[in-house]
Copies of this chain bind each other. A is one copy, B any other.
Amino acid sequence: MEIEKFPIVRISEQGRSESDGMVATEFSLTITLNNQELVTLLCSPTKLDCLAVGFLSSEGLIKSKDEIREITVDEESGVVQVTTKQAREFAQGISSRRFIGSSGARGTNFSAISSTSWAKVKSHLQVSPPEVFALMQEFIQHSKVFRATSGVHSAGLCDTKNILLFSDDIGRHNAIDKIFGECILNDIPISDRIITTTGRVSSEILLKVARRSIPILISKAVPTNLGVKLAADLGITLIGFARGKTMNVYTCGWRVVTDGE
């Protein structure tokens, strides 16, 4: 369901051959909150309840499982309906203004991209370079869908040694929202945890992580300038270009300690 096979022609200097091309599935998911249509996302067709809850949480519309009365997933029609125990005020904030990020961003309002309204992350978690290398080696190869298609991003919730939760999605934002949605739905604690991602770290990604007070964000890819500035302002250790046995530490390097320090 996450992968579809198409007949393709593979061409190289050696000639042509007919082959099967494995391609990631693109799925249209509409999320409603209290019967009001909120957004339609293009995503991978997995963990749709986690995606909906993670999205709502990223938008600041729900904070905990206790607030949710019911979640109905209709895969056929591509709709997740979330109802909360109490009414939600969101019509103006979300629906009325269109904000499109570098790659699927969805701040309700660009003014959110200011660090002044966010609390600094205080965690004393530290990680060593060999731990980062080992984590990322496992993380980058973890997605079966990526290995088959090269067409999805991955996200992980980790401690310094293990991948605790993993998700993939055609959208790098969705992959992260799925992680945080799963944490909410399954009461998985996130304090002193690390988020890993294969995607670039733009302001929107950084703020998703900052909203959950995650102290360390590790990406296989690079950040934008605003990603770096927000990480510095909010006390988040931002590691980029983590692949093979190298990495760049952009901010809060005190959390990256050499063994024995």
Contacts and interface: CB of A to CB of B under 8 A. Distances in A.
Contacts of A164: none
Interface string A82-100: 0000000000001111111
Interface in A87-117: 94-106, 110, 113
Number of copies: 2
A26 B103 contact: no
Contacts of A150: 221-222, 241
A9 B42 contact: no
Interface stretch (A65-73, A134-142, A180-188, A245-253): A245-253
Interface in A225-259: 225-228, 240-241, 245-250, 253, 256, 258
A117 to B, nearest CB: 16
A190 interface: no
A6 to B, nearest CB: 5
A60 to B, nearest CB: 15
Interface size on A, as a range, is 35 or more
A110 B40 contact: yes
Contacts of A102: 26, 42-43, 104, 169-171, 174
Interface of A: 4, 6, 8-13, 16, 19, 21, 23-26, 28, 30, 37-43, 94-106, 110, 113, 129, 133, 149-151, 169-172, 174, 200, 202-204, 221-228, 240-241, 245-250, 253, 256, 258
Given A23-B250, A102-B170, A170-B224, 19 more contacts: A4-B225, A4-B228, A6-B250, A9-B249, A10-B246, A10-B247, A10-B249, A12-B247, A23-B228, A26-B203, A40-B98, A40-B100, A42-B202, A42-B204, A95-B97, A98-B98, A100-B100, A100-B106, A151-B224
